[in-house]
Amino acid sequence: MSSIAASADVAETATLGEGTKIWHLAQVREGAKLGANCVVGRGAYVGPDVQIGENTKIQNYALVYEPAVLGKGVFIGPAVVLTNDTYPRAVSPDGSLKSAADWSPVGVTIEEGASVGARAVCIAPLTIGRWATIAAGSVVTKDVAPFALMAGVPARRLGWVGKAGFPLKKVDGFWVCPETGAKYVGDSDSLKEVEDNA
């Protein structure tokens, strides 16, 4: 059974998985689909038809605009913004107020296990690869490789991280997690797990 705070605004057509919690003042719009055991923090916004995988955490005041797609186990830090308008304008060239029919939203896709730190902004359209980490305050403008550690404005890759989130260290030709000992192999553009990791 899901749990919804009395002050939250969850559309009747939104789908919440078993054990999902929606906190105070959060809004989940029409057609949004959240998997099991998700958390949507205080004041967070989830747009219409957004898709969110199980065990995902969206922290306080984060803005997840449609048509975002978040995989399983994604972490969205406080006040993160996932944009959806490539060329934003309030009005048309003639000065008339734009409506929903005057633009086509584009989305941010965040793959399984990835984390986006507090106050980071992800400029759609882009994809953040599985288990990547975006440092707090970063502005992401391009696709991010799986396991990449990104920081800055604009964000650039500083290194690699493992599934535990710790920066990997180069040891005997492998990238190794100092927390779990898991090994990864790759080149300057990509990284993947070593198959015999238990």
CATH of the domain at 91: 2.160.10.10
Same domain, 65 and 18: yes
Instruction: Judge contact between 109 and 128, C-beta under 8 A.
Output: yes
Same domain, 124 and 173: no
Per-residue model confidence (pLDDT) at position 67: 97
Q: Is the dihedral of CA 148, 124, 135, 158 positive or negative?
A: positive
Per-residue model confidence (pLDDT) at position 198: 52
Same domain, 23 and 66: yes
Give the Å distances, CA to CA, from 41 to 8, 117, 140, 149, 171: 10, 14, 22, 25, 39
As beta bridge partners, residue 91 has 97
Per-residue model confidence (pLDDT) at position 17: 98
Same domain, 94 and 178: no
Same domain, 177 and 157: no
Same domain, 186 and 153: no
Same domain, 88 and 23: yes
Per-residue model confidence (pLDDT) at position 196: 67
Q: What is the pLDDT of residues 94-112, one digit of tens each?
A: 999 998 888 899 999 999 9
Tally of domains in the chain:
2
DSSP assignment, residue 56?
A: -
Same domain, 117 and 181: no
- Which pair of structure tokens corresponds to residue 191? 């990284």
Same domain, 167 and 138: no
Per-residue model confidence (pLDDT) at position 197: 57
Query: Domain containing 172: what range?
Result: 162-198
User: Quick count: other Cβ atoms within 10 Å of Cβ 111?
Assistant: 20
Per-residue model confidence (pLDDT) at position 100: 84
Per-residue model confidence (pLDDT) at position 157: 97
Per-residue model confidence (pLDDT) at position 195: 80
For the chain, residues with pLDDT lower than 70 are: 196-198
Which amino acid appears at position 172 of this protein? D
pTM of the complete model: 0.95
Question: Backbone phi, then psi, for 97, in 5-degree steps?
Answer: -65, 130
Same domain, 24 and 74: yes
User: Quick count: other Cβ atoms within 10 Å of Cβ 12?
Assistant: 5
Per-residue model confidence (pLDDT) at position 1: 86
Same domain, 52 and 93: yes
Per-residue model confidence (pLDDT) at position 136: 98
Same domain, 133 and 144: yes
